[in-house]
Amino acid sequence: MKYGGKNFIKANHEIDHLTVPIGGLNVNLENYYRKRYMLFRWRNSQSFVNKSIMAFFMACLTGLMAQIVIPLPWTPVPITAQTFSVLISGILLGRYWGGFSQLLYVLLGISGIPWFAGMKGGYSILLGASGGYLIGFIIAALFLGHFVDKYVKSRNFIPMFGLMLFANFILIYVPGLLVLGFWVYTVKGVIPTIWELLVMGLLPFIVGDIFKIMGASALTKAITPKEPYGEEVDIKTGW
């Protein structure tokens, strides 16, 4: 079904005239498809101020989920739930505003708002063991938002699962491990081995992250329209 221009008007007319006794399930599905399409069209049409407000609320959600913390005795990096919020920020807000929401989260956190993991705040967190992950949050949200905005086919579960695996384990963990290694060196005076870095900053989080990625990928498939609503390029190029 097409929801743009005349096709959307035609689809809208057809939906309004479906009868419940004949196609009750179809009525519900068609209305759902139409509403999720209109939601993203509405998102794209919002003013700078409204998009800034949405980015702020997304930053708040990241801060709230950062308080779901499981500390680990052998590493200064705790398990948190905030990665889920980071992954969906680009999906919900798009590449620029999803990335901005995480930039806002980091900037407000280092300015003193105690919404980093464990209700911490201040610039020292950015220079600490978890600082690199925060930088990765911004990059990951930009990356995922770009694909959702540009490629309709990325909004299905399997493509998005692959994209989120890359965003999570490369775009977040690479800067995270680099800064963690620097932090270990400044604190202990020794350069950690790659294995030591992986034990502290990656291996304990793999299983939980995969579950979060699965959930975020399923949510993406459910809430994003499978029709173009903006500047998608794969419709014409056959990506």
| Spatial CA neighbour of 102 closest among 148, 61, 67, 130 | 61
Each residue of 129-156: pLDDT tens digit?
A: 999 999 999 999 999 999 999 999 999 9
Would you say 75 and 202 are in contact if contact means Cβ atoms under 8 Å apart?
no
Q: Left if phi > 0, otherwise alpha if psi is -120 to 50, otherwise beta: which for 112?
A: left
Angle between helix axes 131-150 and 173-188 (nearest 10 degrees) is: 170
**Rounded Cα–Cα distance for residues 207 and 75 (Å):** 17
Each residue of 173-193: pLDDT tens digit?
A: 999 999 999 999 999 999 999
Q: Is the pLDDT of residue 224 over 80?
A: yes
**Rounded Cα–Cα distance for residues 135 and 130 (Å):** 9
* The CATH fold of domain 47-237: Arp2/3 complex 21 kDa subunit ARPC3 (1.10.1760)
Each residue of 190-207: pLDDT tens digit?
A: 999 999 999 999 999 999
